[in-house]
Amino acid sequence: MKQRIIPYKPYLKELAKRLRQNSTFSEVLLWNELKNKQLHDLDFDRQKPLGSYIVDFYCKELMLVIEIDGDSHDYSLEEDATRQRELEALGVCFLRFDDAEVKFDIANVLREIEAWVMQHRQV
């Protein structure tokens, strides 16, 4: 299956780098489980520019975005919904987890991600 490249606005590259340098605790926890192809040998990027947006985690092979909704999302529900709709229109799938889920029940978060991968991965 040919992977689809989603172009992004060039100015987002520097912002994404700053976000990676200032990750939230829950982002660090999840990244420690996803990096280095630890989950089913899948390559995830963190703070990845896609289109006009930056997503928390992205797996290009599966066109899967994983978002952690924390305090920064409390006041931007409509913007989050718009962003998700626009990226889904490009073929991207979303998994969303609450910040507290990642901090206090990461094992279940990983099980949910793994179940999604097993259901959607092309062998």
- d(C-alpha 81, C-alpha 101), whole Å: 20
- d(C-alpha 72, C-alpha 68), whole Å: 10
pTM over 0.85: yes
Q: What DSSP element (H or E) covers 80?
A: helix 77-88
Which residue ranges form the domains of the chain, and what is each CATH number? 26-120 (3.40.960.10)
User: Which tokens go with 83?
Assistant: 């962003």
Sign of CA dihedral 113, 68, 109, 40: positive
pLDDT by residue, tens only, the chain of 123 residues: 456 889 999 999 999 999 999 999 999 999 999 999 999 999 999 999 999 999 999 999 999 999 999 865 455 778 888 999 999 999 999 999 999 999 999 999 999 999 999 999 875
